[in-house]
Amino acid sequence: MRKRVFYGAGALLARLVVLLCLLGYATLSCANEHMAELNAGFDRWLAEYLVQNDDGINRLPYGRIPKDSLDAYVNAMAALEPSAMSQDEAFSYWVNLYNSLIIRLVLREQPASSIRQIKPGLTGLLAGGPWKQDQVVVEGKSLSFDDIEHGILRVQWREPRVHFVLNCASLGCPNLPAVSIKPAQLEQQLTEAAAAFLQHPRAIRLEQKTLVVNQIFNWFAEDFGRNETEVLDWIAQFKGQPLPAHASVRYEYDWALNRAP
């Protein structure tokens, strides 16, 4: 079986851009053009492997994807300098890097049923997960998933919709975006991702007199409001309809792997 080359023909253009930068024939925009070309390659990868399931949850056939198929993308992204990027470029960079790192980890480790089985804690699935384990070095600093999500994205941007474009390879998580996040389309992509998730029952649904709400709105409640009422108001705003006023609230999350058949 012929091994797939992730970049495809686009690698030639990416290398040419880097060469021009090194020779001094391009400005700072050369790095941004290089990132755009890298993300075009990620888009091709997603187009080949991502399964948009009938239940509304995007999945990946991890067992059928070459384990090293994202290595070149991750390594090339890690070699960039997000500190020199604009705000929208850096935000997009970190989201795309995070998502690709999650996928790469699952491809390498092949957990049986949940990402939490990777580097489990003393009580197995109840305390496990790879979140604090270093995954990548960017600008000389080793970073974990927690570092990227909580130490960079949530702290520097304070954008609650970031939660809807980050994917943790789990059914309870908002969908893995079908295309990479683009600086020029960032506002649209964030809004569409939030709206799509909030229309799905794994985000919020009414069961008799109980609102069953995704744990994202409990774990990261401060990103959406000062208290539960404000969090629910935030949800209602994006859903475009009021929530039941006197319903009780229960939080849940499905950690099952988003594996396609």
Q: Which residues pair with 206 in a beta bridge?
A: 211
Task: Give the SS3 label for residue 97.
Answer: helix
Q: Are 93 and 82 in contact (CB under 8 A)?
A: yes
Distances (CA, A) of 228 to 15, 16, 162, 224: 50, 52, 19, 9
Residue 55: per-residue pLDDT: 96
Name the one residue in this structure whose structure tokens are 């506002």.
Answer: 187
Burial class (CB in 10 A: 0-12, 13-18, 19+), 99: buried
Name the one residue in this structure whose structure tokens are 């959406």.
Answer: 224
Residue 33: per-residue pLDDT: 82
Rounded to whole angstroms, how far apart are CA atoms 252 and 200?
A: 14
pLDDT digits (tens, 9 = 90+) for 14-46: 454 455 454 544 445 566 788 999 999 999 999
pLDDT of the chain along its 261 residues, tens only?
333 444 444 444 445 445 545 454 444 556 678 899 999 999 999 999 999 999 999 999 999 999 999 999 999 999 999 999 999 999 999 999 999 999 999 999 999 999 999 975 544 445 479 999 999 999 999 999 999 999 999 999 999 999 999 999 999 999 999 999 999 999 999 999 999 999 999 999 999 999 999 999 999 999 999 999 999 999 999 888 899 988 999 999 999 999 998
Domain ranges of the chain: 10-252
Q: Are 105 and 118 in contact (CB under 8 A)?
A: yes
Residue 21: per-residue pLDDT: 53
pLDDT digits (tens, 9 = 90+) for 216-236: 999 999 999 999 999 999 999
Task: Give the SS3 label for residue 170.
Answer: strand
Q: Are 258 and 176 in contact (CB under 8 A)?
A: yes
> What's the predicted TM-score (pTM) here?
0.88
Which DSSP string do the residues of 183-235 spell out, in sequence order? GGGHHHHHHHHHHHHHTSTTTEEEETTEEEEETHHHHTGGGT-SSHHHHHHHH
Tokens at 232, concatenated: 């629910």
Rounded to whole angstroms, how far apart are CA atoms 101 and 93?
A: 12
